[in-house]
Chain A
Amino acid sequence: MNKMMSKGIGAPLPRESARRLVEGRGSYIDDIVLPSMLHVAFLRAPFAHGRILEIDTAEARELPGVVAVIDGKDLAKVCAPFDTNPPGVPHHSSPPQPALVIEESCFQGEAVIAVVAQSRAIAEDAVELVFVDWEELPASCSIKEAQSDDAAPVHGGFETNLALRHRLGVEDVSNAFESAAHVVEASFEFGRQTGVTLEPRGIIAHWDPRTEALEVWQSHQVPWQMREVYAKQLGLPQQSIRVTTPDVGGAFGLKLHAYADELAAVAVSKLLGRPVKYIVDRLEAFTSDAHAREANATCRMAIDLEGHILGIDAVVDSGFGAYSIHPRGSFGEAMQAAQLIGAPYNVGAFRAVVQGWRQNKAPSGAYRGVGQPIACAITEDMIDLAARAAGIDPAEMRRINYRSTLDAGARATQSGLVIEELSLDACLEKLLEAMDYKELRVEQAGLRKQGIHRGIGLASFVEITGVGAGLYGPLGLPLAANEACRLTLQPDGSLTCATSVTDQGQGTLSALGQLIAGEFDVAPGMVRMIAGDTGRTPYGGGAWASRGMALGGEAARRACVRLRNGLFDVAAEILQCEPSALSFENGEVVGPKGPSGVTLADLGALCHYRPYDIPTGQVPPMTVEESFLPANLPYITSNGVHAVHLEVDVDLGTVELLDYWVVDDCGTVVNPLLVDEQLRGGIVQGIGAALYEECVYSEGGQFTNGTLADYVVPMAGEMPDIHVGHITTPTRASGLGAKGVGEAGTVGAPAALRAAISDALSPLATRVVKQPFTTRRILEAIMAAENARQQ
């Protein structure tokens, strides 16, 4: 039985849906066309901060094909502004964010006027005819500007720009620092990034006045959340709304949020009673998609003579943008950036103060890893600085400080982190062996004598995955946190799985199908997956916080067990044996006497068409539904270690990536191909963060590099080989044992590169501070150290 139950799990099956998507047979938002559908284009605010003096839409309205020109006041009649002030988050505030600017605009790119026309081209032409007279207002754009004493208020409703203040850990860590053998201190800066999905955001909304029902198709991760958001903003019953997320071409967290422009499109449909489509173009995406990562931090770490950490004291300042993003807020990144500092280690005394700052920039939100890449980068850099101070090898420094579980009796770490069980020691050992660490260090020392600056960077991480209700529930955020599976046996013996999990290109649905097929030992093609549709799937979260397999997989496994047990009851009556003696092989029931000749198709036909032939007359349910969230844990922690080997050209400031290794523990691996590609894809995004990607704003708050020519994303040709290894520690929170893996690559890669570049530069007595580590910043670090030496 055990052998059979695990069949399918662990098989490197190719991804079922990949062929359809690669052949261009996907159906994305822009592929959907509804009868009498209209198109929306927006006029967006040109200033970082401005006030509307006058709007003149007369010329735009006269353009043939224009149906309506709608401003913020018009939309406010049918649609409330986002209120992102969850009651359970203390010392947090956000101004109301209307669907369209009503009077005061707070970031460049905020949607101001919606033009609705017969085609997108006409709508865009008409947008150019709309005239808005603006008064430019003083703006606060960088974190430093926003927090200065004489900072201009980002929003007229608030005198200061402080949007969040929170302390994690103890009030006083001075004892740890007074008794330390070494104290190291460093500052950090992280540039703003954005997700750059291949398919931009997009939405079709159709309010049908005849049925008083709203249908929404949206390129999004969480259809159930959006149903509830639209119900609240438009004052509609939840059940009158259906949200469908068809094929989605990448999301990375940025499609987790509710956007003002998308809400505006829905409200326009409500106002006009017509279907409307709005597709975000690439220029709009850069200025209006959720941004992430912008943060400044300082950290102190105290260690004893042997290198054991005695205490951590950190301050993290996070850039929120103009509004805390709806509905989850912008505090998640700030909080996780602080809470995960030191997470892989026994850190002694811990204190982290976290502050969030409003800025006249696009709102910041979730992006693959949410704060954890920042925490990991701070932690690993501090570990390297401490190792250098104590004269201990960086790998050894990590090994002697790793934590494996919480201290006996503790519910959480000092920062409030709940950890089940870690395998960092085993991950590090496997990693060092895979990369031949000792040999690399010898080679590095030899090359340094020749003036070649190679760096080796290590990054250990502990990651929050499969987040359940324990995170948002207490904050007062009404968000589905379970994942569910509704499994049906069809009369022909095939299976239908309707899941609350959504797939934006990860292949999660293929892996769920593989898991289900394995439980009945049928070909994966016998399982049809339905997802991303509140009209057809069970209630649940969707895709966020690496949950597809960790939570959705367990729900599917439980549904399989229940459906199968019902079928075994029927088969046991036919075969005159105990149900527990039965199993499936190749879709056929196998009993005590071997193959029975009774197939899944036979059972399907029997139960659906001839239930009177079942000896007991008891028809088991042909559709079962199971829902899962971890019962005693707020989330499931995974862990791993990254390493990168690179070379810095100290004359040019360029970085060449030579090799990359990661050993990850995501518990049970259902499909190793998909898991490894999740790690690789995440690492590539992390490399982009470390070397290339930054939203560059001018002093006045203008986004100056918002095109794919200027905002540089990683390209395949620049990427090193990425060697993936696994340690498997199944979580005890579920029968499946899978933990999340979708973000693990992005969490560790920026830290590994930061560590490796600073390692390469260590003979020059300098380190890199601000991410991304562009050639200019690397050269500036080298030159600053040279200047310091000459003085």
Chain B
Amino acid sequence: MEMQDRQIIAAPREAVFEAILTPEMLKACIPGAEEVTGSPAEGFEAVVVQKVGPVKARFKGTVTIEDVVAGTSLRLIGEGKGGAAGFAKGNATIRLTDHPEGCELAYVVEAKIGGKIAQLGSRIIDGFARKMADQFFARFKGEMEGVEPG
């Protein structure tokens, strides 16, 4: 499953790039994040609680960062193990370009899921994954612009 979209963020490109690499920002943006620790160099560890259809899952996972072109692009690779619910894996390629209003953040997200949550069928999962990705970047925009996301 692949999703892509873009956000215009009213902040300078470099500031946006730096912000996305902090655990505090990841915790604020990842929907359902309970804990995010670590650093860009060593990777992050995250605990995320989410409800997918009838299945509530607490994913324990890692987020690593690859293909960093400072100020321009990077790839976030996440892998979460949800115990009884299954697992989720994904990566997000993020590209930043200058924009009259600040910067444009374009993202392409690929997600793979397995176990009980995969069984629930793509009709729930596709919508769920899209919502997760959209929320992540909407919150990020909100954090950067200093407004609460709607």
Chain A residues at the B interface, C-beta cutoff of 8 Å: 43-47, 108, 124, 127-134, 283, 286-287, 698, 700, 702-707, 709-710
A128-B57, A128-B58, A131-B60 known; A702 and B119 CB under 8 Å?
Answer: yes
* Nearest CB in chain B to that of A129: its residue: B83
Shortest distance between the CB of B84 and any CB in chain A (Å): 5
Contacts of A43 in B (CB 8 A): 83-84
Shortest distance between the CB of A107 and any CB in chain B (Å): 12
A399-B149 Cα distance, complex, nearest whole Å: 74
* Nearest CB in chain A to that of B57: its residue: A128
Contacts of A130 in B (CB 8 A): 83-84
* Nearest CB in chain A to that of B121: its residue: A710
A241-B47 Cα distance, complex, nearest whole Å: 47
B120 touching A707 by the CB < 8 A rule?
yes
A128 touching B119 by the CB < 8 A rule?
no
Interface string of B24-60 (1 = CB under 8 A from A): 0000000000000000000000000000000011101
Shortest distance between the CB of A138 and any CB in chain B (Å): 14
Shortest distance between the CB of A194 and any CB in chain B (Å): 13
A705 touching B83 by the CB < 8 A rule?
no
A44 touching B115 by the CB < 8 A rule?
yes
Contacts of B4 in A (CB 8 A): none
The B interface, classified by DSSP as helix, strand, loop or mixed, is mixed
The verdict on B138 contacting chain A, using a C-beta distance below 8 Å, is: no
Contacts of B81 in A (CB 8 A): 46, 131-134
B116 touching A705 by the CB < 8 A rule?
no
A217-B120 Cα distance, complex, nearest whole Å: 30
A700 touching B121 by the CB < 8 A rule?
no
The verdict on B102 contacting chain A, using a C-beta distance below 8 Å, is: no
A108-B115, A128-B57, A702-B114 known; A44 and B121 CB under 8 Å?
Answer: no
The verdict on B112 contacting chain A, using a C-beta distance below 8 Å, is: yes
Contacts of B86 in A (CB 8 A): 46
The verdict on B118 contacting chain A, using a C-beta distance below 8 Å, is: yes
* Nearest CB in chain B to that of A287: its residue: B119
A705-B119 Cα distance, complex, nearest whole Å: 6
A705-B125 Cα distance, complex, nearest whole Å: 11
Interface string of B117-130 (1 = CB under 8 A from A): 01111110000000
B119 touching A47 by the CB < 8 A rule?
no
B57 touching A283 by the CB < 8 A rule?
no
* Nearest CB in chain B to that of A45: its residue: B115
Interface string of B73-111 (1 = CB under 8 A from A): 000000001111111000000000000000000000000
Contacts of B82 in A (CB 8 A): 46
Contacts of B118 in A (CB 8 A): 108, 698, 702-704
Shortest distance between the CB of A43 and any CB in chain B (Å): 5
Could you list 29 examples of A-B contacts with CB < 8 Å? A43-B83, A43-B84, A44-B115, A45-B115, A46-B82, A46-B86, A46-B115, A46-B116, A47-B115, A128-B56, A128-B58, A128-B85, A130-B84, A131-B81, A132-B83, A134-B81, A134-B87, A283-B116, A286-B119, A287-B119, A698-B118, A700-B112, A702-B115, A704-B118, A704-B119, A704-B122, A705-B121, A707-B119, A709-B121
* Nearest CB in chain A to that of B118: its residue: A702
Contacts of B56 in A (CB 8 A): 128
Contacts of B120 in A (CB 8 A): 283, 706-707
A43-B84, A131-B60 known; A704 and B121 CB under 8 Å?
Answer: yes
* Nearest CB in chain B to that of A113: its residue: B84
A43-B86 Cα distance, complex, nearest whole Å: 10
Contacts of B114 in A (CB 8 A): 46-47, 108, 700, 702
Shortest distance between the CB of B126 and any CB in chain A (Å): 11
A44 touching B83 by the CB < 8 A rule?
no
Contacts of B83 in A (CB 8 A): 43, 127-132
Query: Is the interface on chain B under 10, 10 to 19, 20 to 34, or 35 or more residues?
Result: 20 to 34
B84 touching A127 by the CB < 8 A rule?
yes
The A interface, classified by DSSP as helix, strand, loop or mixed, is loop
* Nearest CB in chain B to that of A46: its residue: B115
A128 touching B84 by the CB < 8 A rule?
yes
* Nearest CB in chain A to that of B87: its residue: A46
A43-B83, A44-B84 known; A703 and B112 CB under 8 Å?
Answer: no
Shortest distance between the CB of B60 and any CB in chain A (Å): 7
A703-B85 Cα distance, complex, nearest whole Å: 13
Please indicate which of the listed interface residues B82, B84, B113, B115 has the most CB atoms of chain A within 10 Å of its own CB: B84
A526-B28 Cα distance, complex, nearest whole Å: 74
A574-B123 Cα distance, complex, nearest whole Å: 77
Contacts of B113 in A (CB 8 A): 702
Contacts of A704 in B (CB 8 A): 118-119, 121-122
A130-B56 Cα distance, complex, nearest whole Å: 14
A23-B115 Cα distance, complex, nearest whole Å: 37
Further pairs besides A43-B84, A127-B83: 5, Cβ < 8 Å: A46-B86, A134-B81, A700-B112, A707-B120, A709-B123
* Nearest CB in chain A to that of B125: its residue: A704
Shortest distance between the CB of A58 and any CB in chain B (Å): 13
A702-B125 Cα distance, complex, nearest whole Å: 13
A128-B57, A700-B114 known; A707 and B84 CB under 8 Å?
Answer: no
Contacts of A702 in B (CB 8 A): 113-115, 118-119
Contact of B119 among A124, A129, A283 (CB under 8 A): A283
Contacts of A710 in B (CB 8 A): 121, 123
Contacts of B87 in A (CB 8 A): 46-47, 134
A716-B124 Cα distance, complex, nearest whole Å: 27
Shortest distance between the CB of A290 and any CB in chain B (Å): 17
Shortest distance between the CB of A532 and any CB in chain B (Å): 32
* Nearest CB in chain B to that of A131: its residue: B83
Shortest distance between the CB of B121 and any CB in chain A (Å): 4
Shortest distance between the CB of B86 and any CB in chain A (Å): 4
A131-B123 Cα distance, complex, nearest whole Å: 28
* Nearest CB in chain B to that of A60: its residue: B83
* Nearest CB in chain B to that of A134: its residue: B81
Please indicate which of the listed interface residues A108, A124, A130 has the most CB atoms of chain B within 10 Å of its own CB: A108
Shortest distance between the CB of A454 and any CB in chain B (Å): 33
Shortest distance between the CB of B79 and any CB in chain A (Å): 10
Contacts of A134 in B (CB 8 A): 81, 87
A381-B84 Cα distance, complex, nearest whole Å: 44
A583-B11 Cα distance, complex, nearest whole Å: 102
A430-B91 Cα distance, complex, nearest whole Å: 64
A130-B83 Cα distance, complex, nearest whole Å: 7
A134-B89 Cα distance, complex, nearest whole Å: 14
B119 touching A706 by the CB < 8 A rule?
yes
A43-B84, A128-B84, A133-B81 known; A703 and B119 CB under 8 Å?
Answer: yes
Contacts of B112 in A (CB 8 A): 700
Shortest distance between the CB of B46 and any CB in chain A (Å): 15
A108-B119 Cα distance, complex, nearest whole Å: 10
* Nearest CB in chain B to that of A710: its residue: B121
Contacts of B85 in A (CB 8 A): 128
Contacts of A131 in B (CB 8 A): 60, 81, 83
Shortest distance between the CB of B2 and any CB in chain A (Å): 14
* Nearest CB in chain A to that of B116: its residue: A283
A700-B119 Cα distance, complex, nearest whole Å: 13
Contacts of A129 in B (CB 8 A): 83
Shortest distance between the CB of B87 and any CB in chain A (Å): 5
A666-B118 Cα distance, complex, nearest whole Å: 44
A44-B55 Cα distance, complex, nearest whole Å: 14
Nearest 6 interchain pairs by C-beta = A46-B115, A706-B119, A702-B118, A710-B121, A46-B86, A127-B84
A692-B145 Cα distance, complex, nearest whole Å: 51
* Nearest CB in chain A to that of B58: its residue: A128
A785-B57 Cα distance, complex, nearest whole Å: 47
A703-B56 Cα distance, complex, nearest whole Å: 19
Contacts of A46 in B (CB 8 A): 81-82, 86-87, 114-116
A47-B122 Cα distance, complex, nearest whole Å: 17
B121 touching A707 by the CB < 8 A rule?
yes
Shortest distance between the CB of B62 and any CB in chain A (Å): 12
B123 touching A44 by the CB < 8 A rule?
no
Contacts of A283 in B (CB 8 A): 116, 119-120
A700-B86 Cα distance, complex, nearest whole Å: 14
